[in-house]
A and B are shown apart, each in its own frame.
Chain A
Amino acid sequence: MTRPTRYLLRGVAPLGGDPTDLLLADGVIAAVGPHLDVSDVARGGARSGSDNSVVEIDARGLVALPGLVDLHTHLREPGREDAETIASGTRAAALGGFTAVHAMANTTPVADTAGVVEQVWRLGRDAGWVDVHPVGAVSVGLAGEQLAELGAMAASAARVRVFSDDGSCVADPVLMRRALEYVKAFDGVIAQHAQEPRLTAGAQMHEGVVSAELGLAGWPAVAEEAIIARDVLLAEHVGSRLHVCHLSTAGSVEIVRWAKSRGIAVTAEVTPHHLVLTDDLARGYDPVYKVNPPLRTAADVEAVRAGLADGTIDIVATDHAPHTREDKDCEWAAAAHGMTGLETALSVVQQTMIDTGRLTWADVARVLSTAPAEIGRVSGHGRPLEIGEPANVTLVDPAARWTVVPEEQGTASVNSPFRGRELPGRVVATFLRGRATVLDGAAVTPGAAVTPGSAVTPGSAVTPGSAGADARATAGVGA
């Protein structure tokens, strides 16, 4: 019986710590320790055939992280396959170091039924780049009026635990309360896109000095903060979990800090772009900088960095939002909101948080893997880099620098706000349950690393307790 390629990572620094070797075999971290003996490593495997070989990777100087988990990704399929497909978006995710992503519900049709979330989950499994965890809509059609079938989505094969009307705010306080309460039955969480709709009608950018100058309708910080304030109080009242999507203002950080000090079960995310970009980029009216929530001021950027550093903000999530060229190649007001981010997220976090001394690599593992996996109730991801744990591992070269060329990225869209920017840190390799999805910074087509005809015993390359993983392992071999 042949078996999948095993990888021996030589001299890698787990979470930026002391260099050691990691052996990835049979879907798990099989051995950890300095100077692992190759013959020990190879023992127990059939030696005939190249597929049995242990691939050694010189990982000196590289940092090993648990595979990154994105709680906020727009994969656009079904409906807008011209902007992104599940295959292209998850390939981009793997290139960015991710092993799991949460696919937002604002597709066409909306992911508000068990049928749609199962379709998304299945397409993700078939693509094989990362584990795709669909996010279910809170309300039918994202309309904010009637609860979607949250229970059916939770009970489906996709096992949905995160629910969000992202793109729209659950503005009705009664609907929000009901949603918060209802998902307690299956340990779900409501991920709120905090945007008071009346205060943001027609809003184009952050309301402040720059919007006044540019004559673009303002998106005031208070429209975000008012909803977050309301929602943390609702969450406290009903004893539910609340997750705040893409928090962007200094005031929001203060409110979440206050809520946590009261013991309210709130978690919060910030996007990479809100860690570095500011509203004055709108001055050229280039819609690549149009995003919701909008780019804020330098003071807000500093506040979200501080919030991420002190733990007020739990995670970084990309809000990867691919758009077609025609949806960005136009006047600002006509352009779509959103920017790509899967393939720049880790670099931006390194630039803004590591290279500034505000976070360690262990912290990065927490904010980009462990904590999002915990919030999304994703098992098998965000685990320690220890023997027996699933081999979901990302290798990053912190010393590398690269220039962003959107056309060369894995995502199908080119609306990266970092075009032409030099960023630190490069994802060298990504392993999903021991299978390389990225090697030497290049995507490895799923199936290529596994010898055709080989068999994997279901369960051996699989995360215990993950229904999706079982099916994935089986399907992956046949692919």
Chain B
Amino acid sequence: MRHLLSTADLDVTTAVRILDTAAQMAATQSREIKKLPTLRGRTVVNLFFEDSTRTRISFETAAKRLSADVINFSAKGSSVSKGESLKDTALTLQAMGADAVVIRHQASGAPHTLAASGWVDSSVINAGDGTHQHPTQALLDAYTMRRHLAGDAVGVGDVGRDLSGLRVVIVGDVLHSRVARSNVLLLRTLGADVTLVAPPTLVPVGVEAWPCRVSYDLDPVLRDQQPDAVMMLRVQRERMTGGGSGGGAFFPNPVEYTRGYGLDRRRLALLPDHAIVMHPGPMNRGLEISADAADSPRAVIVEQVTNGVAVRMAVLYLLLAGDLAEQKNVEERVVVA
């Protein structure tokens, strides 16, 4: 595995291996000295064409915990229309000798373009491209689900497992969501059963080809499927006004959205006891998720952030320090550290 561009590129073996590696990484993070020497002397560039403090900090933390040198390149505003092209930015990074480029870009496919262009020799990690993919988010979501739902107990016995048999419901703006696209593909690969729930305006034409079910009605899905995990997607403000999309609003108003698709106290009560509540953040409290749900014991939203660091450490490690065959050595290297 040279790049991580899309969860579509991950087979079940690779995906489970990443999750297992993440578990090993996570285990090191409870130590007093969290830093591992694994990527000492390697350079990771966070190339962000779009603001995302949370994702950038997560990647930065992951790289630093592996002792890599980290360069943060905020390229917002230096898009083609305003100045330097993606190509010239890439050539600049190549000249500086980046080993990995973590790219966030507003254009779907930009990481593919970077990886396929020959402009850089680096590994390319997609940190979110347009409305296409956000593979490390899906991996940290899967990791979080596995910890809570696939083991015999929390954090025990889940290593090596996939997500067979789990029922996951993803609710919200599927149309514009790279998180939803990445999750649908990865969860399916890992054996989970996925249902998307959204108002019809926020479901893409062509969704029928996705390996999941689609519903417009949240209550029966929660009641009848008794999902193991419910993932609430963020609703962008501009979807309510039609701003930036050339069309009208995607739903009449926030109140109606919340009434139909928000996770409130009543819907929370429909879930089975073991079910977890997830959100990729940042949340719109009171819109897609109520404070009752966000702050409930079943919410694992903060833990998702923690797990994000471990998962990104695993991805950086696997892409930079080793082919997947060397996998077994990670624990030894960690011990040596």
A220 / chain B contacts, CB cutoff of 8 Å: 205
Q: Known contacts A212-B210, A215-B130; decide if A330 and B113 are in contact (CB<8 Å).
A: yes
**A182 contacts the other chain (CB 8 A):** no
**B107 contacts the other chain (CB 8 A):** yes
Of A202-210, A248-256, A441-449, the one contacting chain B is: A202-210
Contact with A along B117-133 (1 / 0, CB 8 A): 10000000000011111
A202 / chain B contacts, CB cutoff of 8 Å: 245-246
A215 near B178: Cβ-Cβ < 8 Å:
yes
**B165 contacts the other chain (CB 8 A):** no
B208 / chain A contacts, CB cutoff of 8 Å: 209
A332 near B209: Cβ-Cβ < 8 Å:
no
In chain A, positions 88-136 with a C-beta closer than 8 Å to chain B are: none
Q: Known contacts A201-B246, A332-B113, A333-B130; decide if A212 and B209 are in contact (CB<8 Å).
A: yes
Docked CA distance A330–B109 (Å): 10
B246 near A285: Cβ-Cβ < 8 Å:
no
Among residues of B, the one whose C-beta sits closest to the C-beta of A282 is B109
Show 8 A/B contacts (Cβ-Cβ < 8 Å), sorted by A. A198-B246, A207-B206, A209-B208, A212-B207, A331-B105, A332-B109, A334-B81, A334-B85
Q: For the side of the interface on A, what is the size category?
A: 20 to 34
In chain A, positions 265-297 with a C-beta closer than 8 Å to chain B are: 284-286
**B156 contacts the other chain (CB 8 A):** no
**B247 contacts the other chain (CB 8 A):** yes
Docked CA distance A214–B246 (Å): 20
Task: Given A201-B247, A211-B206, A333-B106, output 14 extra A-B contacts at Cβ < 8 Å.
Answer: A198-B247, A202-B245, A204-B108, A209-B206, A209-B209, A212-B207, A215-B132, A284-B112, A285-B113, A285-B116, A330-B87, A333-B130, A334-B79, A334-B81
**A372 contacts the other chain (CB 8 A):** no
Among residues of A, the one whose C-beta sits closest to the C-beta of B87 is A329
B109 near A214: Cβ-Cβ < 8 Å:
yes
Among residues of A, the one whose C-beta sits closest to the C-beta of B131 is A215
Write the nearest CB–CB distance from A212 to chain B, whole angstroms: 3
Docked CA distance A212–B113 (Å): 18
Q: Known contacts A285-B112, A331-B86, A334-B80; decide if A214 and B132 are in contact (CB<8 Å).
A: yes
Docked CA distance A202–B108 (Å): 13
Among residues of A, the one whose C-beta sits closest to the C-beta of B242 is A201
Write the nearest CB–CB distance from B119 to chain A, whole angstroms: 9
**A40 contacts the other chain (CB 8 A):** no
Contact with A along B86-117 (1 / 0, CB 8 A): 11000000000000000001111110110011
A285 / chain B contacts, CB cutoff of 8 Å: 108-110, 112-113, 116
A330 near B80: Cβ-Cβ < 8 Å:
yes
**B147 contacts the other chain (CB 8 A):** no
Binding site for B on A (CB under 8 A): 198, 201-202, 204, 207-218, 220, 284-286, 326, 329-334
Q: For the side of the interface on B, what is the size category?
A: 20 to 34
B109 near A331: Cβ-Cβ < 8 Å:
yes
Write the nearest CB–CB distance from B129 to chain A, whole angstroms: 7
A332 / chain B contacts, CB cutoff of 8 Å: 107-110, 113
Docked CA distance A211–B112 (Å): 15
Among residues of A, the one whose C-beta sits closest to the C-beta of B184 is A213
A218 / chain B contacts, CB cutoff of 8 Å: 204-206
Top 4 A-B pairs ranked by shortest CB distance? A201-B246, A212-B206, A215-B132, A285-B109
B181 / chain A contacts, CB cutoff of 8 Å: 213, 215
Among residues of A, the one whose C-beta sits closest to the C-beta of B248 is A198
Docked CA distance A214–B109 (Å): 7
B247 near A331: Cβ-Cβ < 8 Å:
no
Write the nearest CB–CB distance from B159 to chain A, whole angstroms: 31
Docked CA distance A202–B113 (Å): 19
Write the nearest CB–CB distance from B172 to chain A, whole angstroms: 15
B245 near A330: Cβ-Cβ < 8 Å:
no
Within the complex, which residue of B81, B106, B108, B245 is in contact with A214, where a contact is CB–CB below 8 Å? B108
Q: Known contacts A201-B245, A215-B108, A285-B113; decide if A330 and B132 are in contact (CB<8 Å).
A: no
Among residues of A, the one whose C-beta sits closest to the C-beta of B5 is A285
B209 near A330: Cβ-Cβ < 8 Å:
no
B207 / chain A contacts, CB cutoff of 8 Å: 212
Contact with A along B184-228 (1 / 0, CB 8 A): 000000000000000000001111111000000000000000000
B116 / chain A contacts, CB cutoff of 8 Å: 284-286
A204 / chain B contacts, CB cutoff of 8 Å: 108
Write the nearest CB–CB distance from A210 to chain B, whole angstroms: 7
Contact with A along B235-276 (1 / 0, CB 8 A): 000000000011100000000000000000000000000000
Docked CA distance A285–B112 (Å): 7
Write the nearest CB–CB distance from A281 to chain B, whole angstroms: 13
In chain B, positions 145-178 with a C-beta closer than 8 Å to chain A are: 178
Write the nearest CB–CB distance from A199 to chain B, whole angstroms: 8
Within the complex, which residue of A198, A201, A213, A334 is in contact with B206, where a contact is CB–CB below 8 Å? A213
Write the nearest CB–CB distance from B111 to chain A, whole angstroms: 9
Among residues of A, the one whose C-beta sits closest to the C-beta of B176 is A215
A208 / chain B contacts, CB cutoff of 8 Å: 205-206
A326 / chain B contacts, CB cutoff of 8 Å: 85
B205 / chain A contacts, CB cutoff of 8 Å: 207-208, 211-212, 218, 220
Docked CA distance A39–B105 (Å): 72
Docked CA distance A346–B304 (Å): 57
B109 near A216: Cβ-Cβ < 8 Å:
yes
B107 near A334: Cβ-Cβ < 8 Å:
yes
Docked CA distance A238–B318 (Å): 68
A331 near B204: Cβ-Cβ < 8 Å:
no
A207 / chain B contacts, CB cutoff of 8 Å: 205-206
Write the nearest CB–CB distance from A447 to chain B, whole angstroms: 40
Write the nearest CB–CB distance from A347 to chain B, whole angstroms: 27
Among residues of B, the one whose C-beta sits closest to the C-beta of A203 is B246
Docked CA distance A286–B108 (Å): 12
